[in-house]
């Protein structure tokens, strides 16, 4: 039986017609414990300062007091956040952000996913949907045109993501869109994903937060559309952007996808191998998209409202095996690296199957591969009693994934992530655990790509290649990637600022090379949508403000300067396959001080009082 929620009428926002075009001017907050929901107003100046997506989500987390709670506590909020461009004709704009305090890091966590959930969610009449509390039974949260209710999820509790989505579509119909967790999320694996239609808000464990609330899925539909200030100009700008998105800046994504990076990084000795013991893997060409395309059927797909078409889906069955089931898996570089070379594996069949199991169980592939690879080295060193868990053993990899999702045997420890596992083993293990702030390191060897090493160390989400694009600097002619000095710092900062804007508008990172000037072009899009007299400089200021807000959240959540570093392995050992790739502790410390000064922070990375005052919330409102 469905349980409808009462609405706190005192918190309903004013007439939305008075709000900025492109926005509803409010967010919906639903407590699934006591059945109450409330509307919270968002003033035009808050929207202009935080934009949407990750920026607005950070504001909402501060306003809702997320810093005070354990991420898996009932009181901890999780927000689905939309943007002013959602529903517009702008390519790649059908995206939503999921923002919470991360169970893997205990710091701010934000992740993005594409497709119809963003479009349907914004039509509910909200710029964000915030979920708090814990349901008394496995449930589905239904947001129907702004009205909230709970229905039982008993029929799909324990189901894998594809099975659950099929049941939800059959039960509720095509009008609804769903964000779903798998068995890993139900069991609060700390890097469980939240999924929608084959895409995943993957990093940091947002699926575990939803699972801790006893929610299997959130379903949304609505009819409340936003208006555009200048629809004619918006369509013209969107058309030009779409035409440019077919050009050379996105060609590699259409042709091979991000998996094309595999051979490039291997050649540069920058491909993390065997838990970052090496930077190069023999026979890794077996995993390259050129090779996989020879042995497995491949198709291309696109997200909703996207003209790039970067998705490359490989059949699990080999082309010469007609008896195998006709299923496929979306392949990206991070899947291949984390479940392949990082674990010492170059068998394409194994890596494809492992990637599919992560998708169906609801596991972040980077943290899954990183934690398993770390455990494999611990076994190799005699620190962990699991002799079956060996580098290069595909069956061991697949078994470990199932154990993690079920929290069975050693999987219960692996489900906590590499930082917590290392803390249980001891200081020697903490030296080599591949994480920053608890988030496992993506597929860029920090000693061979030292601008990216800085990006990993200072990232508010932890080791992150999506909130810092510093690897672009390393792969350019602007720096010597193995001898990076402070001249690289402003280049790294610029990639963070661009990412903050793209994650808040929200637009796909693959468009970053399409814009002539992201800040000027982004400001023009916002002018068409909102009517704001916005300059590129003001949009750049918004990026810096959002990054400061993330930092302020983390400081209140307990951040300390010593968190901004890399594991000892990267600061004490040269790279085995490239003796020139050395990163000293003093070198990284110097880069971090230069970064903090350039941001206007203290040398230790604290926010000075002048910045803090900009982010303090008074009576639930931003002070300026």
Structure confidence at residue 553 (pLDDT): 96
pLDDT tens figures, 576-595? 888 889 999 999 999 999 99
Structure confidence at residue 442 (pLDDT): 97
Structure confidence at residue 620 (pLDDT): 43
Helix, strand and coil in the chain, % to nearest 5? 45, 15, 40
- Six-digit token pair at 139? 């449930």
Which ranges of the chain have pLDDT less than 70? 1-19, 249-256, 300-312, 318-326, 615-624
Structure confidence at residue 8 (pLDDT): 45
CA distance 19 to 39: 15
Domains of the chain, each with CATH number or no CATH:
3-221 (3.60.9.10), 257-446 (1.10.569.10)
CA distance 198 to 327: 13
Sign of CA dihedral 405, 408, 410, 416: positive
Sequence-distant (6+) residues with CB within 8 A of 197 are 115, 116, 117, 165, 177
CA distance 268 to 180: 38
CA distance 48 to 30: 25
Q: What does pTM read for this prediction?
A: 0.94
Structure confidence at residue 7 (pLDDT): 44
Sequence-distant (6+) residues with CB within 8 A of 517 are 536
Structure confidence at residue 245 (pLDDT): 74
Sign of CA dihedral 238, 549, 115, 149: negative
**CB of 238 closer than 8 Å to CB of 90:** yes
User: How many residues would you count in the chain?
Assistant: 624
């Amino acid at each position: 039986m469905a349980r409808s929620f009462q609405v706190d009428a005192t918190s309903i926002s004013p007439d939305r017609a008075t709000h900025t075009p492109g926005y509803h001017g409010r967010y919906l907050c639903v407590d699934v414990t006591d059945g109450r929901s409330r509307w919270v107003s968002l003033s035009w100046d808050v929207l202009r300062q935080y934009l949407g997506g990750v920026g607005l989500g950070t504001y909402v987390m501060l306003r809702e007091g997320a810093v005070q709670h354990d991420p898996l506590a009932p009181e901890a909020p999780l927000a689905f956040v939309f943007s002013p461009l959602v529903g517009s004709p702008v390519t790649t704009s059908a995206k939503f952000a999921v923002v919470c305090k991360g169970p893997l890091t205990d710091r701010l966590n934000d992740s993005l996913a594409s497709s119809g959930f963003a479009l349907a969610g914004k039509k509910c009449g909200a710029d964000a949907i915030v979920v708090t509390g814990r349901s008394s039974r496995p449930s589905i949260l239904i947001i129907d045109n702004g009205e909230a209710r709970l229905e039982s999820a008993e029929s799909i509790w324990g189901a894998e993501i594809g099975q659950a989505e099929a049941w939800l579509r059959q039960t509720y119909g095509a009008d609804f869109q769903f964000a779903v967790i798998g068995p890993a999320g139900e069991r609060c694996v700390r890097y469980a994903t939240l999924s929608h239609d084959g895409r995943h808000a993957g990093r940091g464990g947002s699926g575990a937060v939803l699972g801790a609330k006893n929610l299997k899925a959130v379903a949304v539909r609505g009819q409340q559309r936003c208006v555009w200030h200048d629809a004619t100009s918006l369509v013209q700008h969107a058309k030009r952007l779409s035409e440019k998105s077919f050009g050379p800046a996105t060609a590699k994504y259409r042709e091979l996808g991000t998996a094309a990076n595999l051979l490039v990084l291997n050649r540069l000795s920058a491909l993390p191998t065997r838990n970052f013991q090496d930077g190069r893997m023999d026979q890794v060409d077996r995993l390259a998209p050129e090779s996989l395309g020879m042995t497995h059927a491949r198709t291309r797909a696109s997200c909703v409202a996207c003209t790039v078409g970067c998705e490359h889906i490989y059949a699990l069955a080999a082309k010469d095996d007609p008896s195998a089931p006709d299923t496929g898996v979306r392949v990206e570089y991070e899947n291949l690296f984390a479940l392949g070379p990082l674990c010492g594996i170059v068998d394409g069949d194994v890596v494809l199957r492992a990637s599919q199991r992560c998708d169906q169980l609801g596991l972040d592939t980077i943290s899954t591969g990183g934690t398993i690879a770390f455990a494999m080295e611990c076994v190799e060193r005699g620190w962990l009693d699991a002799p079956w868990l060996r580098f290069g053993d595909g069956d061991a990899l697949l078994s470990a994934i199932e154990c993690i999702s079920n929290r069975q045997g050693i999987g219960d420890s692996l489900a906590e992530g590499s930082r917590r596992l290392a803390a249980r083993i001891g200081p020697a293990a903490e030296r080599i655990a591949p994480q920053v702030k608890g988030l496992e390191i993506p597929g860029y060897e920090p000693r061979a790509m030292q601008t990216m090493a800085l990006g990993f160390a200072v990232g508010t989400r932890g080791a992150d290649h999506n909130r810092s694009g510093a690897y672009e600097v390393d792969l350019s002619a602007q720096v010597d990637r193995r001898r990076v000095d402070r001249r690289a710092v402003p280049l790294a900062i610029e990639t963070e600022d661009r990412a903050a804007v793209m994650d808040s508008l929200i637009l796909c990172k693959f468009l970053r090379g399409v814009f002539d000037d992201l800040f000027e072009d982004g400001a023009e899009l916002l002018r068409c949508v909102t009517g704001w007299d916005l300059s590129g400089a003001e949009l750049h200021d918004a990026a810096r403000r959002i990054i400061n807000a993330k930092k302020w959240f983390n400081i209140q959540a307990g951040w300390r300067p010593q968190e901004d570093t890399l594991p000892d392995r990267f600061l004490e050992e040269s790279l085995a396959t490239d003796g020139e790739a050395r990163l000293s502790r003093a070198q990284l410390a110097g880069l971090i001080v230069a970064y903090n000064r350039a941001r206007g922070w203290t040398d230790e990375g604290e926010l000075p009082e002048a910045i803090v005052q900009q982010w303090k919330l008074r009576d639930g409102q931003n002070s300026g």
